[in-house]
Structure 1
Amino acid sequence: MKTPKRLLPLIEDGLIDDVIGQLMSGKEATVYMVRCGTEVRCAKVYKEAAQRSFKKAVQYQEGRKVRNSRRARAMEKGSKFGRDQQEEIWQSAEVDALYKLAQAGVRVPEPYGCFSGVLLMELITDEDGYVAPRLNDVELSPERARRDHAIVMRDVVRMLCAGVIHGDLSEFNVLVDEHGPVIIDLPQAVDASANNNAKSMLERDVRNMTQYYGQFAPELLKVQYAKEIWTLFENGDLTPDTQLTGLVQEDTQPANVDAVMLEIKAALEEQEELEQRLRAAREG
């Protein structure tokens, strides 16, 4: 095939020897199978912002830190330099997440670096050496569905303990090799402690995966892993080795209405006193 323009610099630098073919084209990138020495790897070429169809990207970027104040100001102003910097951060987010999650024991492709908007990473294959299928293309037995669902929930927990939420996890962003599910596609990964949408994104990730595996093992549809995971996380009790039950203790205690009303009354009285002091200061 004709070498894609975006991969030419990597070939010239000796990072890639040959482009074997295109694997897929998605909403934020096109992925190619490439030869690097004796190994076959993936080259993920990120699309420019105008070509991406990823919805609500701003929600995912919330909380991503920019240490350089000049870069931060440029991004706020939306200048060309600022847009370029925003693109660089978007592209580097995935490789950063992959390194962090691999270290945390999450099953993700091994990253080899991001070069000029191209992420080089491990090619996930099946037991016969062919490109591993996506989860949505795999037929599962009830036993396999329960096992793989448990693996994904374990990895969601490990991700959260590492401060990361996938944010777009579904059967389309999971590959299946001979050992089970491998999580992919992380450019939209969010900081669990800095993004206001973190809880809802975690809940959606868990719901997506549970509903998919629940097609093959319906009993999974009754569990409450999202609520259990987030409650443990908020309370500081979540660890990479936490054994989930899928059960959540519901709070059946009635709300203390009197205590709430007293707090409201106290707040109103403080506000009234503050306004009186301000009026007195103006009149004086």
Structure 2
Amino acid sequence: MSRRSKDEDFDARIDALRTRIKDSDDLNVEDAVFDKRTLMDLYSLASKGVIDALGGSVCTGKEANIFAALSGERVLALKIYRISTSNFNVMQDYLHGDPRFSSVKGTKRAIVAAWTRKEYRNLLRAEQVGVRVPHPFAMRENILVMEMIGQEDAAAPPLKDVELDAAEAGRIYQKIIEYISLLYNQAGLVHADLSEFNILY
């Protein structure tokens, strides 16, 4: 098979991932997210049955983009760390402070992949002690596959976008304090970026 035929076959397989969810043209976002290596990893996840289709953008963060995906009838969240624009130095500092990843060195892609593994493991640890976090299903390189928190195919809003009365605000405050305590005392973890921007209601 010629190089061009292989590329066309690869493109066709990737296109097949986005046939079942509307707004899939969001795949045409900047190359910072969907470089060829990331597309190959997405295809690998699909080949293993982790995801069936890739959908539209859910949100964009400082280091990653989150997209909807389907696995059977279940809607999942795919967090894809941007290799070219991620803050390499900050990630490296956090990893070097964690004995589980003290030996990680090398390329930017290797650091981002280790960061993704760390987030996957931390989500599992938080879940095990009773903190309500998205369940992580799988990860590959810079892609983290998680439970979609929300109703049907709509993601839950961040706390910053929700209007609360005093009673509900008090209830949520107490629940967050409970989760912080569980995370520290039971899982041995501290959330370094906890805010109303990344708490879902």
TM-score bracket for the superposition, by shorter chain length: 0.7 to 0.9
Matches within 5 A, 1:6-155: 6=38, 7-48=42-83, 50-53=84-87, 56-66=90-100, 72=103, 75=105, 79-80=106-107, 83-126=108-151, 130-155=154-179
Q: 2:197 aligns with which of 172, 178, 191?
A: 172
Give me the TM-score of the superposition, normalised by structure 1.
0.53
Equivalenced residue count is 165
Change (3 A) 1:34 1:134: same
State the AA in 1 paired with 2:63: E
1:59 is displaced (CA, Å) by 4.3
CA deviation digits over 1:205-248, x for unaligned, max 9?
xxxxxxxxxxxxxxxxxxxxxxxxxxxxxxxxxxxxxxxxxxxx
Structure 1 pair 66–84 and aligned structure 2 pair: CA distance change class (3 A) = farther
Q: Between Structure 1 and Structure 2, whose CA radius of gyration is higher? A: 1
Q: Which residue of 2 aligns with 1:160?
A: 184
In structure 2, C-alpha distance between the alignment counterparts of 1:62 and 1:109, rounded to whole Å: 25
Aligned pairs (5 A) from 1:203-214: none
% identity of equivalent residues: 31
> What are the superposed Cα offsets for residues 27-59 of structure 1, whole Å, 9 maximum, x if unpaired?
1111111110121110111111x4024884454
1:56 and 1:85 map into 2 onto residues whose CA distance is: 14
What displacement does 1:12 show?
A: 3.3
TM-superposed CA distance for 1:22, in Å, is 0.8
- For residues 86 and 19 of structure 1, the distance between their equivalents in structure 2, rounded to whole angstroms, comes to 25
1:153-206 Cα deviation digits (max 9, x unpaired): 000000001110110000001001xxxxxxxxxxxxxxxxxxxxxxxxxxxxxx
How far is the alpha carbon of 1:91 from its aligned partner? 1.2
Distance 1:172 1:148, change over 3 A: same
CA, structure 1 residues 98+130, in 2 after alignment: closer, same or farther (shift >3 Å)? same
State whether residues 138 and 144 of structure 2, in contact with CA within 8 Å, keep that contact through their aligned partners in structure 1. yes
SS at match of 1:165: coil
User: Residues 148, 54 of structure 1: CA spacing in aligned structure 2 closer, same or farther, 3 A cutoff?
Assistant: farther
CA contact (8 A) 1:28 1:54 kept: no
Distance 1:66-1:94 versus aligned 2 partners, 3 A rule = closer
SS in 2 for 1:174: coil
1:42–1:120 Cα contact (<8 Å) kept: yes
Q: 1:35 to 1:138 in 2, by over 3 A?
A: same
Structure 1: which 5+ runs fail to align? 177-284
Gaps of 5+ in 2: 1-23, 28-33
d(CA) in 2 for partners of 1:23, 1:129: 10
Judged with a 3 Å threshold, the aligned counterparts in structure 2 of structure 1 residues 96 and 158 are, in CA distance, closer, same or farther, namely: same
TM-score (norm. length: structure 2): 0.73
Letter in 2 for 1:135: L
